[in-house]
Amino acid sequence: MMLKKSVILWMKVFLSAGTDTTAGTMEWAMALLLNHPNVITKAQNEINTNIGKHRLVDESDIVNLPYLRCIINETLRMYPAGPLLVPRESSKDCVIGGYNIPGGTMLLVNQWAIHRDPKFWTDPKSFNPERFKGLEAMRDGFKYMPFGSGRRSCPGEGLAVRMMALTIGLMIQCFDWERISEKKVDMTEGYGITLPKAEPLLAKCKPRLGMRNLLA
């Protein structure tokens, strides 16, 4: 009975943690794409070349869409779902960055700041998916870790990336997207553990030519 309750609890944690963070990241991704329509065009061309217009993108196609993965990586760099990694506790006295850290101290890693550090990234405030070209599964030291690092990294990383790639891939394959006005989408960050947008994303879309039969 205790085992059953434990399994149910973990399922609730897994679903709640994975749903909000994945949806939030996709909202940031679409906001970035709407502000950079040239990136949408590149992603659509990649899908047209590798998938065509006779069928919808499938999960098995993701490996053949590296630019789409670059878009997701760059979104996670700029707007990580968890800007502060899960707290850690120092097991013994140590020195970090010149600071003496007593054993038993709770430590937080500010990955939002790391992902935007100009020491690690060229023009870090700019949305540039091409920076990840050839590095789709990048693990370069500790400068990029949207899912944490080491043994306690997020166990849902694989599922999250596949779901985001499939959903965003279908959205840009099937629809042409526009901002609701000439103004760029407001990218102000809200308050919360999972870094929400301050203003919910609003956009216009219409079915792409050649995709209407599939959508019907």
Task: Check residue 4 and give its pLDDT.
Answer: 58
For the cut 90, the answer to whether the pLDDT of residue 183 exceeds it is: yes
Confidence of residue 140 (pLDDT cuts 50, 70, 90): low
Element (H, E) at 204: strand 204-207
The string of pLDDT tens digits covering residues 59-105 is 999 999 999 999 999 999 999 988 888 888 888 999 988 889 999 99
Task: Check residue 136 and give its pLDDT.
Answer: 52
Q: Which residues pair with 177 in a beta bridge?
A: 205
Give Cα 81 to chain centroid, integer Å: 7
Q: What is the mean pLDDT of residues 174-180?
A: 95
Residue 16: CB atoms within 10 Å: 10
The Cα 175–Cα 133 span in angstroms is: 25
> Closest Cα partner for 34 from 180, 163, 165?
180
Q: Are strands 204-207 and 94-96 parallel, antiparallel or unpaired?
A: unpaired
The string of pLDDT tens digits covering residues 4-36 is 555 555 455 455 555 667 889 999 999 999 999
**Considering the entire predicted model, what is its pTM?**
0.86
Task: Check residue 10 and give its pLDDT.
Answer: 47
Instruction: Specify the CATH class of 20-80+127-215 in words.
Output: mainly alpha
- In this prediction, what percent of the chain has a pLDDT beyond 90? 57
